[in-house]
Structure 1
Amino acid sequence: MFSLTKLAYNWCNWEERSAYDELETLEISVRPCCLLLILYLRAENADYNVSNDDQMFIAAHQSISEEAATSGHVRCLAFAEGRGFPWTRAICVLSAAHGQLDCLKYACDRGCPWDVEVCCKAAANGQLACLRYAHENGCPWDYTTCEAAAAGGHLDCLQYAHDNGCPWDYITCEVVAAGGHLDCLQYAHENGCLWAYTTCEAAAAGGHFDCLQYAHDNGCQWNFTTCEAAAAGGHLDCLQYAHDNGCPWDYRTCEVAAAGGHFDCLQYAHKNGCLWAYTTCEVAAAGGHLDCLQYAHDNGCLCEAAAAEGHFVCLEW
């Protein structure tokens, strides 16, 4: 199962391994599953006492099966199966998430249970080969598969899932916009995926101007939350675009701009007719944003409190 070199290295204690690692000689690469396997074999020897270092290592890692699935070591996975380690759903999930197709096949062929999380994790990490294998071998999927692919910007996984009947809904467009993945947003919209005002909101919140512009230009609705999200994130270009194109705003736009200390957004909103309330000064003071507090006060915004969060510079002012 192991070369004699690797077996000898693994059989050493932690101090001996450290001493070897400092030598200018052949590097021996081992994965946690290999070390766990050796510790397991050692523990079978009644004369062997598990050291504190060994116990800490075991406690800090998953089971041999799960570590093998993560690392892509089919031999370690087979050993664990042969020794009766439980086949948990995590084995297929970890194999898919890390693109370990051989381990995924091995586990599937031996009846390891799986569920929708396998496809979801494969899509989330752009592991198309694992996603395809899982689907073609009967692994279930649902909306979360498309959402995961979209959130990660993995267009190939999104296309495969949609082309093979995986459902999607407006959340797919929302998470795409949140991540700024314009190609995925275009694909989803052009292939009939629904969207809602949350698409524009998510794009604005992340400062993804191209996604915001695309969504609006193609008829996606927006409301007060778009300007609010842009201001909260300090994304002046998105705020300007939304306002210039008729997106509504209200006092909360100024409030969140002040809360985040985004002076340019606060100034722009006020100069362009956005309402504000005493909460603008309140949140500016609470956050210690003196420039926002001064600007709001100097331009007629009511001020009531400044020391709520201990920002005494604002209080002294």
Structure 2
Amino acid sequence: MNILITGAAGFIGAHTALRLLKDGHQVTGLDNFNDYYDPQLKRDRVRWVEQQVGHFPLQRLDLADSAGLERLFAEIQPQVVINLAAQAGVRYSLENPKAYLDSNLSGFLNLLEMCRRFPVQHLIYASSSSVYGANQQTPYKVSDNVDHPLSLYAASKKANELMAHSYSHLFGVPATGLRFFTVYGPWGRPDMSPILFADAISQARPLKLFNYGMHQRDFTYIDDIVESLVRLLDKPPARDPLWDREQPDPSTSMAPWRLFNIGGQRPVELKDYVSTLERLLGRQAQVEYLPLQPGDVLNTCADVSALENLTGFGPQVPLHEGLEHFVQWYRSYYAGARS
């Protein structure tokens, strides 16, 4: 297939690009290399991909650049678009909300316009488990109500789902939204807990555990995310003639649109997560217990039965195994600079 990946120098984007290139697909990447975190990590991810598969066509482009996006679509005419570009981070959305407007809303709208004007066979886009917000009943099901987001980041992701639905309904854009649950693994973002915690443990600095370490997170290893994506490529949604307007299922539609959870289905308390990292790093953490932070969801756990029914696959890598792979990469990449 001819595939465009946005956010291709990001964590999930680079892993996805590598897998698709290895599988023989024609892949073009897009990334704006912004400085939300050190762009050198993004450049190193691209180099890592190219070391294994050779040249990786990658455009330095922002989704907010509608003219540049139009030129790219006209040139490559993608069959499938995988949108992984976004302004990430729950807590950062409290500090810089406009970044989420520019990237997650305006940028996504530009991408939807391109998928309409240059019709694609399938648009797959990243949503987030954060959309479940104030929901307390777990495991989260894609049929659950998500009307109470707890952060602007979560609200922007729910908005993406609604925007995609409108384009599916009005223009027939086949769109699949994926609610990712706490993705981790080698080449992860430095603002996420694996690197933050590994840094703190390695450098004997206080490790901050919010909500006094009582959070539960449904950690999902990166290879399981990529496998799910790959299996969805040739399975675009169709209009559901049995969709009931009087009792609507929020995860499907009379339009060619649907939602899936991708999660490990094994929620772990953060205290136990830290203990696993301590064992793998061979050092004890100095833990600082702090109260719940604004925007944080208490617990996450995914019901992935809908995804498994369609693809025959569900996340399989247990946390201890995934964290072992992460720690091996962490030690290799930072080469002792953070120890």
Greater strand share, 1 or 2? Answer: 2
Report the structure number with the largest CA radius of gyration: 1
**TM-score relative to the length of structure 1:** 0.28
Looking at both structures, which has the greater relative contact order when contacts are Cα pairs under 8 Å and sequence separation is at least 6?
A: 2
What is the TM-score normalised by the length of structure 2?
Answer: 0.27
Higher helix share: 1
